[in-house]
Amino acid sequence: MTSTHQFLRRLGGLTLGAVTALTVLSAGAQAETVLKVYTALEEEQMPVYKAAFEKANPDIKIEWQRDSTGVITARLLAEKDNRQADIVWGLAATSLMLLDKQGMLEPYKPQGFDQIKDLFKDTRTDKPTWVGMDAWAGALCYNTVEGEKAGVTKPESWADLLKPEYKGHIAMPNPGSSGTGFLDVAAWLQMMGEKGGWDYMDKLHENIAAYLHSGSKPCKAAAAGEYIVGISFAYPGVQLKNQGAPVEVILPKEGIGWDMEATGIMKGTKNLEAAKKLADFAASADANKLYNDSYQVLARKDVEAKVPENYPADEANKLIKNDFYWAADHRDTILAEWQKRYGSKDAPK
């Protein structure tokens, strides 16, 4: 029997060790009020924002959960039945509208709500569930070195991209995989009308080298010389330019589609009071000044926005009159049509 004992002891020892290890590892930290904040902010913005908020509210501690827009939105939706987040700070407004549609957001008017521009809040209701922070708009990234080599000039407008010289040199996000891609498609349809928009895309399709699965990737690929023009948004282009990439960030002159970063409290949060304080802070002038380090168009009327380094000027005037609700309502049909027209290329050009 000794051998049985030995075996069981060994087995028991292993299991016990494993269980102890797991229990020790999963014990979390206990502190003041800990707010679970879901976000798609850039990594370098997070410590700055967190420090500013915690300085103003010493009794509240932020615990981030950060991922790219697509992943964090999918996670929020998947957690619908047992929400982990207390509040969302810094996620695309279109994503927050999806959560709102599912009844997952708590209505709240933060302090200084009337200082928020109309574009940045839901004016249709008296009980807004999300509040905008800043806008990010579509943009072109143009690689000057490769452009010169191939004799491809810098585009200034959407119409320019249809010229034969761009054939095989343009990358664009697949609207089915990327919110940025969808933002562009929705903007074209709104600017040029249903028929004009699809006609434009038919012609653009002839010049596209690849549809990529992320919104920032076309710009990054352009900065690395893989393509000459990337249809993307301004932030990654500015970042890459700051790192020394030979890219120009262009806001096409016809106007650009845009989305905003926004804040919304999760319905059912156990830390509603603390979450409200964060929502207040996110809508404050102080916070808007922080947003201004990365973005040019801000939510507050009373904060004078400067142009961040290397950022193309005059963004505010190029934003189209974007109907988010129209885009959200027609999303499925637009994507199905897009997929039918351009989704089944058999091989890349």
Partner 1 sequence: MAEITMTAPRARQAEMAEGKKPPIIRPKASGDDLIMRGCLVVVGVFFLVTVVLPLYALLKKSVEDANGGFIGLANFAAYFQDPALTQSLQNTVSMAVISTILTLSLAFGYAYALTRSCMPARGLFKAIALIPLLAPSLLPGLALVYLFGNQGVLKSLLFGETIYGPIGIIIGEVFFAFPHALMILVTALSMADQRLYEAADALRAKPMKTFFSVTLPGCRYGLISAAFVIFTLVFTDFGVPKVIGGEYNVLATDVYRQVIGQFNFHMGAVVGLILMLPAVVSFFVDRLVQRKQVALLTARAVPLTPKPRTLIDGFCLVLCLVVSMFLLAILGMAAFGSFIKFWPYNLTLTLSKYDFGALGTGGWGDYFNSLRMAALVAVIGTTIVFVNAYMVEKSNGFRWGRNLIHFFAMVPLAVPGIVLGLAYIFFFNAPNNPLNFIYTTMTILVVNTITHFYTVCHLTALTALKQVDAEFEAVSASLKVPFYKTFWRVTVPVCLPAIVDIGIYYFVNAMTTVSAVIFLYSSETKLMSISALNTEDAGNTAQACAMGMTIVATSAILRGIQALLAKRLQRRSQAWRTR
Q: Are 90 and 135 in contact (CB under 8 A)?
A: no
Residue of the chain from 28, 58, 103, 151 that contacts partner 1 (CB under 8 A): 28
Q: Are 335 and 176 in contact (CB under 8 A)?
A: yes
Q: What are phi and psi of 228, to 5 degrees?
A: -95, -40
Locate all alpha helices (DSSP H) within 27-58, ordered by sequence: 46-56
Residue from 318, 284, 289 nearest 305 by CA: 289
Nearer to partner 1, 185 or 319 (CB): 185
- Chain residues 62-91 in contact with partner 1, contact rule CB under 8 A: 63-68, 70-71, 73-75, 77-79, 81-82, 84
Q: Which segment (14-22, 105-113, 122-130, 313-321) binds partner 1 by CB under 8 A?
A: 14-22
Q: How many residues at the interface with partner 1, by CB under 8 A?
A: 71
Determine, following the binding rule CB under 8 A, whether residue 225 of this chain makes contact with partner 1.
yes
Q: Which segment (117-125, 177-185, 249-257, 293-301) binds partner 1 by CB under 8 A?
A: 177-185
Closest separation between CB of residue 14 and partner 1, Å? 6
Burial class (CB in 10 A: 0-12, 13-18, 19+), 118: exposed
Other beta carbons less than 10 A from residue 324's beta carbon: 17
Nearer to partner 1, 11 or 307 (CB): 11
Report d(CA 63, CA 66) in Å as an integer: 10
Burial class (CB in 10 A: 0-12, 13-18, 19+), 113: middle
Closest separation between CB of residue 313 and partner 1, Å? 22
Beta bridge pairs of residue 88: 38, 264
- Distances, alpha carbon 11 to alpha carbons 8, 24, 233, 277, in Å: 5, 20, 56, 51
Binding mask 264-303 for partner 1 (x = CB under 8 A): ----------------------------------------
Closest separation between CB of residue 117 and partner 1, Å? 28
Nearer to partner 1, 39 or 57 (CB): 39
Residue of the chain from 57, 129, 239, 269 that contacts partner 1 (CB under 8 A): 239
Indicate the pairing of strand 131-143 with strand 60-66. unpaired
Closest separation between CB of residue 6 and partner 1, Å? 8
Closest separation between CB of residue 271 and partner 1, Å? 16
Residue of the chain from 123, 243, 317, 333 that contacts partner 1 (CB under 8 A): 243
- Chain residues 96-155 in contact with partner 1, contact rule CB under 8 A: 98, 145
- Chain residues 178-207 in contact with partner 1, contact rule CB under 8 A: 178-179
Nearer to partner 1, 72 or 191 (CB): 72
Determine, following the binding rule CB under 8 A, whether residue 3 of this chain makes contact with partner 1.
yes
Q: Which two tokens stand for residue 323?
A: 């109907």
Closest separation between CB of residue 343 and partner 1, Å? 4
Q: Which segment (119-127, 208-216, 255-263, 322-330) binds partner 1 by CB under 8 A?
A: 208-216
Cα-Cα end-to-end distance for the chain:
72
Residue of the chain from 131, 210, 275, 299 that contacts partner 1 (CB under 8 A): 210
Compute the C-alpha angle 134/271/92, nearest 5°: 25
- Chain residues 306-335 in contact with partner 1, contact rule CB under 8 A: 331, 335
Report d(CA 128, CA 138) in Å as an integer: 26
Closest separation between CB of residue 296 and partner 1, Å? 18
Which residues touch 278 (CB under 8 Å, ≥6 apart)? 35, 37, 53, 57, 60, 62, 87, 89, 263
Residue of the chain from 244, 309, 321, 333 that contacts partner 1 (CB under 8 A): 244
